[in-house]
Structure 1
Amino acid sequence: MALSRTFRVTLVHVPLLITVACVSQTNAPATATDSPQPRTATYTCADGTRITIENLGTSVRVLGPDGASEDLPASPANQSSRFGAAHDAIVIDGRDALVMKGGKTPLTCTR
């Protein structure tokens, strides 16, 4: 009798679980729908400065507000969102970029 009841309860719950698994997520993070990093993008940073990041595939070229440029390779080499060399690094996540310069506070920038 107990086995028969377990079987009936399972038959009721399986379609329910399948339906729940098929329901779309409405609270997915915003970055999931963002487009990939464009070839060239200008970012406005939290301190009011603007930088331009040129995506070269296996590296990025960062143009600072003073016109100076710096090339940062992918780190590790198979990455398409993390770039860095020595004490400088950039992490690109959707429309945001976290810019880290040696000896300075990390800076969030948005395109």
Structure 2
Amino acid sequence: MALRRTFQVTLALSPLFVAMACVPQNNSQKAAVTDVSAPQPRTATYTCADGGRMTIENLGTSVRVLGADGVSEDLPASPANQHSRFGQEHDAIVIDGREALVMKAGSTPVTCTR
């Protein structure tokens, strides 16, 4: 009888335990989140960890990326209401403050800073 009662209480409290696991227990995680509400500059040049350079022109709902080789690529906001994530197909850029994470198909992601 006691085992049945323990099992029933455990089942009843399981959703509570799951919800508690999803909630931050302190404010340290909040401090780690970067404020991306500050607008990005219209045009910025980035130096990448792999030694490359690129220029990103912020067009609002998209960005134009100009590589050191002179090739440019336009990437729309993804999803459309974003101001820091841009991409299409297998290429993407995430802008966070002074850093940009560049992801291209078949390549390791590269961090670039302005």
Report the TM-score when normalising by structure 2. 0.68
RMSD of aligned Cα (Å)? 2.2
Q: 2:70 aligns with which of 39, 64, 67?
A: 67
Whichever residue aligns with residue 91 of structure 2, its letter is: D
- Specify the SS of the correspondent of 2:111: strand
CA distance, structure 2, for counterparts of residue 70 and residue 33 of structure 1: 23
CA gap 1:34/1:86 in 2 versus in 1, 3 angstroms: closer
CA gap 1:34/1:74 in 2 versus in 1, 3 angstroms: closer
**Greater than 2 Å deviation, 4+ residue runs:** 28-36
CA gap 1:35/1:76 in 2 versus in 1, 3 angstroms: closer
Instruction: State the identity %.
Output: 80
Q: Does 1:99 align with 2:105?
A: no
Structure 2 gap segments, 5+ residues each: 1-30
Give the alignment of 1:66-85 within 5 angstroms: 66-85=69-88
Whichever residue aligns with residue 48 of structure 1, its letter is: G
CA distance, structure 1, for counterparts of residue 80 and residue 35 of structure 2: 23
Give the alignment of 1:23-34 within 5 angstroms: 28-29=31-32, 31-32=34-35
Q: Which residue of 2 aligns with 1:44?
A: 47
Structure 1 gap segments, 5+ residues each: 1-27
**Displacement after TM superposition at 1:36 (Å):** 2.6
Whichever residue aligns with residue 51 of structure 1, its letter is: M
CA distance, structure 2, for counterparts of residue 52 and residue 70 of structure 1: 11
In terms of Rg, which structure is larger?
Answer: 1
